[in-house]
Amino acid sequence: MAMPRVTQGELIDIRPLGEALRDSKSVTLMRSDHLEVVRLVLPAGKHIPEHRAPGEITVQCLEGVVKFGTGAGAQLMRSGDMLFLLAGEPHWLEAVENASVLVTLYLPHDHQASQGRAAGGNPQAGPGTR
């Protein structure tokens, strides 16, 4: 996933991509020691299998429709819908139609340390969602 260079306080455009959605890719919008924000672009039918995040997350549907599942069941997310999950909560998602979602992840310190060891000492390496 590409990561644009942004500086603290800089505006980041998260408006719907509209017609450009189908040709767009997922992108990490920013990452710091304890926070990562990703625009996840999902073509219709794309399924992301059950997984867990190391810290709390929010998921906001920016456009399209996504089916989001947890141990409590599945629900449809549409533009303007948002949810949060606590650390370690199993979840999955599937795009019902072309969609993009904004995922904000809290990266706990112990996760950063393990990522740093796995990446040869660079705690910024590696995705925060796996």
- pTM confidence score: 0.81
Cα→Cα distances 122→8, 88, 112, 119, 129, Å: 21, 23, 9, 6, 17
CA distance 126 to 38: 13
Radius of gyration of the chain (CA): 15
The amino acid at residue 91 is H
User: Domains of the chain (ranges plus CATH)?
Assistant: 23-118 (2.60.120.10)
Q: How many helices (H) and strands (E) does the chain have?
A: 1, 9
| Nearest to 129, CA basis, from 60, 57, 53 | 53
Write down how long the chain is.
Answer: 130
Q: Judge contact between 92 and 51, C-beta under 8 A.
A: yes
Distances in whole angstroms, Cα of residue 12 to Cα of each of 18, 29, 123: 17, 7, 24
Provide the residue-wise pLDDT of the chain in tens; the chain has 130 residues.
666 678 899 999 999 999 999 999 999 999 999 999 999 999 999 999 999 999 999 999 999 999 999 999 999 999 999 999 999 999 999 999 999 999 999 999 875 555 554 444 443 333 344 3
